Structure 1
């Protein structure tokens, strides 16, 4: 028997399991594709239309009249009890009930089987093998909306098959011709290279609707209105309206990856995903204040979606290539592979229009334990974790650049390296507490939109010169890595916060010890000689006497207020608090390192004893 002659283009999900009819009203789904309201657009023939063709015009609907808008795409004849195994959907099934004439339960079950397989209608001949159909069969047909049509007993099946299939084929031919013209039209638009806006504009012209293209996050990429042209009409939707439209579609997570129709603002909103392979790049939205959508609209929307997807894939490929070159340069710089300052500045201007002659602060934002999250998410959609990672990187970059203009962000794996400018009005970021406050704000903004993951941020110290940034980058990585091990995830850690842990965990050796001692005691070393000596002597006696000021004063042969004054002076110069146990630990460790390094210098002098 003939197969499915009409291949539909799209499966749409409509509100309440309804689809728009040619008259503009919402009617029950013409063709059931799944159990909760799917329907196909295309060149099919409705049951109601078929009842006006040839001998079918003499038919009588016994039950299921509310399903007269179901779509017929082929005609088949039932010659076996297990006919359901051969149904593909959309069939007008013809039968004289011979094969199940003595089985009332099988007759009732046939209605449910046809409905579940997506058949359009059942045509029966009575008075030959059975005189009537069981009431339960008719009741079920009414409930499901599956039309049962009593056929005239004097007609042959071919008298039904030929005219119905001819009408279907004629409609399909006309439909395919129109579809090809629309395809050629959008292909020309794409070849002219005018981008997404021209695709939207052409779609609006073809469908007499309003159109927008949005990315996966709902940001408007293009509308049918040319931003450089005349002002749009008063009733035209603007970006804020389209954002609201996207919001109405995102209640169901699956709706981002499937065609959806939704009643919205008194009209109908269609959303078709822009997908290639396993990736979804965004959606095409189409809004019409009238709910009168014909096949032309769905066909145009699919062809526009195909061209828009290709455009986005092309743009993505270009952007990814440019981003890879920029990222490679930045990480070559931060890893110390670029040794010439002028080369670094020139390449920064060339690749990113960045001014790396300005001082910057280096920070790294990273998804906590993302490998474990990936393993926990294996039951989800294939690209779920990639979407989380892409969203994280985009949100971090957006928040950072919004907070501090001219910030540079580069991605690597599941982290973002952030380079804040530290000059002009942002000089306060040179202070650890200020840059930590900024990083915490960015972290909070990102996590408010990615609540199923946590984020940690590591920050390096401020360095003026571009050739010192590899040190800042190493410090940011250490702050991130060691900070997680010490205090756990979901933190903002400055390198200075590590304190003595740097010495315990770092492989830096003597150089790290020197850097730590200079960080703590450097302000004292830079004082004039007499004052420097007095401050260091006081500091050493203060710890030698277990931080008892009177004992320290006695050991130094000075008044107790002199010691108090010197301690206050040390606090002021170093920014530390010698009443705080953590600061005291750092200072005492720095004093011991200073003593050790002095002994090392003496030992390495010529003639010194081994």
Structure 2
């Protein structure tokens, strides 16, 4: 703040007595003293508050003003409560040393002056830092630089302002992670996601251990609906109670975080394209050589320098309901960044597939389940995410089987209750593991030979034989239970089963034929 601010509206009532031409000086702090020689305790830039108890004779004024001027004080405020009006010898000394002098009336407390100066200095510092943060944001946008941790360290050291950049799963992108335990991070992100789902205007608010926190969204693209993937800025304190300049600092910091997120996302563009190509190869039963080339090309994008290839890969199959198009892919990509930076995530609409290095130990499905847990708070009334995890695939040519395995595991997850469900390979029946290991051409031939006649009949006659077959097998061959499930008469059911047997040359009263049909349907 400038010395002139001591005379501004809203300032404590003071009277200017000397050196009005020096009011443009910058005040950086306050020191209250009645020492005869306070110079050793001054660092420069202070407004000195004194009760003038050091003055025993007129010549003391010259010595006192000379000492504080030499030490860098920028103004002097003399209180009249103890010794009465400011003496003329002190006024004259301040004029000689060009030291602005204020009289502090008896009804104005030193504490009020110190508090006012502290608020003004803090606000000015916040405004300066806001400008610094904004310049850094422009630098990030222009050059692709990064430095969130450096900026947050600066704010913490200069303003005692604790800030963190968090992902919706609670991962710390920047900020002192050791000062915000995992359980507290999860509470903050869940509060933020819940408020966003309810369309509450930011900043959102939370309390941890009696301390208020403000949560500001920092989306990479404000026009995109990806709340389960957007970063957030968590600030210790209630920003709505801050001064305008300090609030400007928080807003500038949120823009900086968004700029960094945008830069990071732009750097992922090629990796996303490679992930899409790999997913397309898996879906169309591409040869192992093509899959290996796509996988190794993606690995080359993992970072600078030579990269050690993973010992094995996992495949995830995920589907969502109640989310905007692309939101699942974005959410899964952001969540997996904290688990495996080499993850490849592709998807459109409600489905996504991911390929990532397999961890050396632990339970991948359990880890993923815990990782995605906080996202539940951001799902709407109909929102749901189901994920299947494959067993590790040691070779690229095993990825196709791993993908099939992940898809089957996802079906198991979808059959459960809950907003976010994850199933792993250990939950699959043994026949699914066998099917995933069978060569693609063998599976296609088996499925086609057994089911194609039934599928063609359904298409030609608008019949429902395939669904009837599924219901019959799920009812374990019980005519009455199957007929009840299909809401048809038992005689109608017997006719349909008979038609299936005629078309396929199989006998559904035989266990072996039932098993073959069941496996063929599983391969559909």
Shorter-chain-normalised TM-score: which range?
Answer: 0.3 to 0.5
TM score, norm. by length of structure 2 = 0.43
TM-score (norm 1): 0.38
